Amino acid sequence: MADRVFMKGTEAIAEAATRAGCRFFAGYPITPQNEIPEYFARRMPEVGGTFVQGESEVASVNMLYGAASTGIRAMSSSSSCGISLYSEGVSYCASARIPMVYVNVQRGGPGIGAIQPAQQDYLQATKASGNGGFRMIVFAPSTVQECVDMTYEAFDLAFRDENPVLVLTDGVMGTMMEPVVLPPMKSDEELKELRDAYKHRAIIGHPLGQQAYCRPGSVGTGQEEVNKEAVKLYATWDKDIRVEEYMMEDAEIVFAAYGISARISRAVIKELRAQGVKAGMIRPITISPFPYETFKNLDFNRVKGILDVEMSIPAQMRWDLDYAIQGACPIKECLRSGGQLLTNDQVMKAAQELIKEVL
Amino acid sequence: MAEEKKVYSRTKGIIDGAVSGFCPGCMHSTIHKLIGEAAEDLGKLDKLVRVEGVGCCGLGQFYVTCDETIAAHGRACAVATGIKRSSPDSLIYTYQGDGDLAAIGLAETMSAANRGENFTVIFVNNGIYGMTGGQMAPTTLLGMKATTAPQGRKAEEHGYPMHMCEILNQLTAPYYLERVSCDTPQNVIKTRNAIKKAFQYQLEGKGFSMVEIVTSCPTNWGLSTLDSLDFLRDKMFTEYPLGVYRDKGAEK
C-alpha cells in the first residue's frame, strides 16, 4: 500500500529522491531549501548513501558531477543565486552527458535577491543554465505531490537521456505542507541492476583496454559532433512535453501560468466561472520542452486574450508565449516579484482588466 | 651463456605507442610514467581513476590507459570527492598544476584535505601557467617574469609564493604530504616511491595525501632545458624545499 503522509515540500522532495534510489547528495546551505540537505544528512546513512556538505555550491555541483559519473543516482539542490554557481558543473554534466538531478527552490533575484519565494529563474532554467547552449528537461511542479512525482521520475529521465534534469520549484512549495502519496522505495537489487547497466561508462576503474572516460569537451574539432549528438537527443523530447489544460473546452480568456502561480490562477478561474466568464488555463508542467503547440493550436476565433501570471518582474515565460502565439491575440501580464506573493485579488483584478479590453 | 631476463618495460599505464605531447624538458611525461608504474606495482591499474585538472595536464587525457574524468578548472578535489565517496574501491588521483590547485581550486583543495578525503593529489608545481602561455601563478617566484607580471612578481603588488605542502600541513586531517622533484635519477626514484606510498595509504583507507612535484617549464620560463634545471635547483628548491612534510604512517 502506498504511504500517504503530510509533508513539507522540501522534505518530500528529499524522501522521493531517496525512494528513487538517490544515494549521493552534496549541497551547500541556502534559504529557502535548507531542509533538503538536512533531510539527506539524516536519511542517507539509513540507506547506505552519502551526504556531503560542500564548501560551496561550486564544489557541491562538482562533487555531483564526480559522483554521478560513477553511475550512482546523485542529486543536489540549491536556490537562485546558489543555482547560478551551479552553472559550471551543470554545463559540464550536459557536455559529458552525465545523468544527474538538481532542484532549484527559487527565491527572488537577481543578485542575492530576496529569500522569499519567487519565480525569477525561468529563463535561466529553460534557456541557459550554463555556458554552451545545452538543453535539459525542466519540471515545474505546482503541488507537493507533483514535487514528489517529478523528482522520482527525474532520475529515470536523467539516465534514459544521460543528461541533467532540473526540478524548478519555489519557496512557497518548498516550505508548505500537503498530504502526499510517496512512491515505492527502489530495492537495493533494483539499484544494483541500474548501476550495473551503466558500468561500461562508469568512472570507477576498468581492466586494461576497457577505459571509461568522462570528457566534458573535445580537443580539436570533435566538439561539433558532440553538439550534434545532443541536438538529436533534444529532438526526441516532443513526447516528454507535459501540459495541463484546465477548463479550456470553451475558454475565451486563457491564463498561462506554471508552478505556484498556476495554483493561484486556478482559484481565480473558478471564481470567474461562477461569474459566467469563460476562463481557462494552460499550465506548462514541463517548461523545457515547452508546450508551444498547445498555445499555437488555440482557436483564436474563440480565445480573446491571454493572461500571463508569473511571480517574476520582468515577465519571463512571456518570451515563450510570444514565440508560441506570434501575436494572434493580446497578452496581458500579471506579475509580482522579490518575495511579494501574488494574491487572488490581484490576479482577479488583472483578469477583469483583460476582459474589459478584449471581450 | 647467461639467461636473458627482461628487467624493464614501459608501464601499461600509458597507451602503447602513445607520444605525450608535452614540451621537451618538461617533467610531466616522467610523472605520468611513475604514476603508471606505482599503480602497476600495487596491482591496481584496473582500479585506477584519474581526475584531470585543467592546464598542461590536459595533454595527459590521450596518454593514459586508466579511467579518467576531466574536472572543471580547480574542481578536481571536489570531483574526486564525489567519485571516491560513490566508488570507495577505486584508486583515485587528481592531477593538477599550480594554477588549478592553488589559485582557482584553493577552496576545493583545502576543504578536501581538511575532510581527509581518501584520495591522492598529484600536484605539479612549476611556478607558472603553462597551457595558457606563461601567466603568473600563486607559486611564481618573486622577481620571476610572467606574461601578466612583465616586470616580474612583486611582493607589494602580487603577494608572495604560496607553499601548498606547508599550508596543508596546518590541517589535522591530511595523512601524507611530500614535496619531490624529477631533476635527477635519485629524485625520480623518490617521486616514484612517494606516489606509491600515497597510493598504498589510500588503499589502506588512511585519507588525504598529496605529492607535490616541483618541476621546470623551459617553454614558459624562456630557458633552455639545461638552464631550466639550474633555475629549478638554484631558485625553485630554495623557495620550495623538498622533503616529507607529513607522514602519519611513519610516526607510528
Secondary structure of A41-103 as H, E, C letters: HHHHHHCCCEEEECCCHHHHHHHHHHHHCCCCCEEEEECCHHHHHHHHHHHHHHHHCCCCEEE
In chain B, how many domains are there? 1
Q: Are residues A221 and A292 in the same domain?
A: no
Tell me what the pLDDT averaged over chain B comes to.
96
Final residue in a domain of this structure, among A238, A268, A301: A238
Considering the domain boundaries, does residue B8 fall inside one? no
Q: In whole numbers, what is the pLDDT of chain A averaged over residues?
A: 97
Distance from the first to the final alpha carbon of chain A: 50
| A192 and A302 assigned to the same domain | no
* Residue A266: φ, ψ to 5°: -60, -45
Is B137 a domain residue? yes
| A283, A215: one domain | no
Same domain, yes or no: A354 and A249: yes
* Binary contact (B70, A60; C-beta < 8 A): no
Q: Please tell me whether residues A279 and A222 are part of one structural domain.
A: no
pLDDT beneath 70: ranges in chain B: 1
Q: Do A205 and B71 touch (CB under 8 A)?
A: no
Q: Residue B212: which domain range?
A: 24-245
Mean pLDDT of A345-358: 98
Residue A253: other Cβ atoms inside 10 A: 23
A-chain CB neighbours of B79 within 8 Å are 62-63, 65-66, 69
Torsions phi, psi for B145 (to 5 deg): -80, 140
In a domain, B140, yes or no: yes
Residue B134: phi and psi, rounded to 5, are 95, 30
On the question of pLDDT at A320 being above 60, the answer is yes
Per-residue pLDDT, B82: 98
> Contacts of residue B46 in chain A, CB cutoff 8 Å?
205-208
* Last residue within a domain, chosen from A188, A222, A238: A238
Is B55 within the bounds of a domain? yes
Residue B83 domain-assigned? yes
- Closest chain A C-alpha to B114 CA, distance in angstroms: 11
| B4 in a structural domain | no
Summarised one tens digit per residue, pLDDT across range A200-248 is 999 999 999 999 999 999 877 788 999 999 999 999 999 999 999 999 9
Which of B166, B161, B29 minimizes the C-alpha distance to B98? Answer: B161
Full domain range(s) for residue A276? 244-358
pTM, whole model, 2 decimals?
Answer: 0.97
The answer to whether residues A341 and A233 belong to one domain is no
To test the contact with chain B by mutation, choose from A203, A211, A219 the residue with the greatest count of B C-beta atoms within 10 A, namely A203
Do B108 and A60 make contact, defined as CB atoms within 8 angstroms? no
Calculate mean pLDDT across residues A283-312. Answer: 98
pLDDT of residue A1: 52
φ/ψ bin of B225: left (φ > 0), alpha (ψ from -120 to 50), beta (otherwise): alpha
Q: Answer yes or no: are the C-beta atoms of B66 and A205 closer than 8 Å.
A: yes
Pick the last residue of a domain from A221, A238, A255: A238
Residues 207-236 of A with CB under 8 A from B: 207-209, 211-217, 219
User: Using CA atoms in the order A216, A22, A156, B78, what is the torsion angle rounded to 10 degrees?
Assistant: 0
What is the ipTM for the molecules in this complex? 0.96
List of residues 6+ apart from B158 with CB closer than 8 A: B136, B140, B149
> Looking at the predicted structure, is the pLDDT value of residue A334 above 60?
yes
For A326, other C-beta atoms within 10 Å of its C-beta total 8
Give me the CATH number covering residue A161. Answer: 3.40.50.970
Asked if B82 has any chain A CB less than 8 Å from its own CB, the reply is: yes
Is some CB atom of chain A closer than 8 A to the CB atom of B169?
no
A156/A254 same-domain check: no
Note whether A205 contacts B85, CB cutoff 8 Å: no
Distance CA B33, CA B35 (A): 6
Question: pLDDT per residue over B155-201, tens digit each?
Answer: 999 999 999 999 999 999 999 999 999 999 999 999 999 999 999 99
Q: Which of A40, A44, A60, A62 to mutate to test the interface with B (most CBs of B within 10 A)?
A: A62
